[in-house]
Structure 1
């Protein structure tokens, strides 16, 4: 784990622990509510694990705080700037691709803004998000396929797609692609 990943893992761990303790939950209660193993939660809270997006979403949904609250630096201002290169890298592909969370809002209606790069031959399978989740994406460069509930959509630079994020979905590219993704999760923590 590089230094930036280690610092992010430490921050996520302390936020998960604080949110769990503020609810008076034990590790077992969080494990039951999230579907994440107790052992993984212990590793996350100690900052010893770099959990994937699915685990982070399960934990943030169970805690009712939304993914941005786990990974973004706290801020008190009315506006928050994320400088280029400062987003939270929450997915790394086998060939160099990345999923970077660059901005997000607080509950109850959480909106996430992602900057994704898929290297040639990469694929990211996403589990269905909470009911009512919507996703919007636009291909900035390259070409890709988005599968939603088994239906494939071929997209080229400039193309956009809106879909239900509460269905199984995947992003893949044979030649490589960069895309911007927005995820809307209504009623987080409700």
Structure 2
């Protein structure tokens, strides 16, 4: 590991330790008391001026109830941004459904549904759930013989493994986001998009 990599690991550890301590609402003194590691040493680690021994890191992780891997997880492993321009877009009349992210177990969609338009889905594999958040307009969702009316700023959790339809019965465009959660097999109709 070169000096640049060592510095990157130190900075990552410092940021992750501060974040883990902050999530618990602990001050430096609180973590020192819970872990048996001196306040000064914790401060040195959190400012990337000292690299802890494995024993020290283990005591800090034990006190915070987090695995060591969480404290050394590099920023590139924490998330991956997606650009709207890279979305896969399908058209339904004048309306659009844009697949922003898909990792094989989850899909994130952004929909615009124009008045009079509808998007029909035959249903995903068994056990699939959908989470819908409407940002503007009022969305009608038909699933398994039931109809749900979801106004702007409200949300719906529903079975995605039944035939379902998203409808716009109003006179203005509806904008909503949709998360598909697969508990079993991935829906082969949609590709995996990972950044």
Alignment of 1:158-173 (within 5 A): 158-173=153-168
Q: 1:185 aligns with which of 182, 185, 191?
A: 182
**Cα distance in 1 for residues equivalent to 2:85 and 2:152:** 22
1:128-151: CA deviations, max 9, x gaps? 110000000010111110011121
- Partners of 1:169 and 1:158 lie apart in 2 by 21
Deviations 1:135-170 (A, max 9, x none): 000101111100111211111101110011111111
> How far 1:185 moved relative to its partner?
0.8
Distance in 2, Cα, partners of 1:165 & 1:155: 16
1:84 aligns to 2:84 (yes or no): yes
> What is the TM-score of this pair, normalised by structure 1?
0.54
**TM alignment of 1:1-190, pairs within 5 A:** 78=77, 79-89=79-89, 91-95=90-94, 97-106=95-104, 110-174=105-169, 175=171, 176-188=173-185
Partner Cα separation in structure 1 for residue 84 and residue 106 of structure 2: 19
Distance 2:125 2:146 in 1: 20
Larger Rg: 2
Aligned partners of 2:123 and 2:183: how far apart in 1?
A: 14
The alignment yields a C-alpha RMSD, in angstroms, of 1.5
- TM-score when scaled to structure 2? 0.52
In 2: Cα distance, 1:156 partner to 1:85 partner: 28
| 2:98/2:111 contact within 8 Å kept | yes
CA contact (8 A) 2:126 2:184 kept: no
| Counterpart Cα distance in 2 of 1:162 and 1:87 | 24
Asked whether the equivalents of residues 136 and 175 of structure 2 are also in contact (C-alpha less than 8 Å), the reply is yes
CA contact (8 A) 2:124 2:161 kept: yes
CA contact (8 A) 1:93 1:119 kept: no
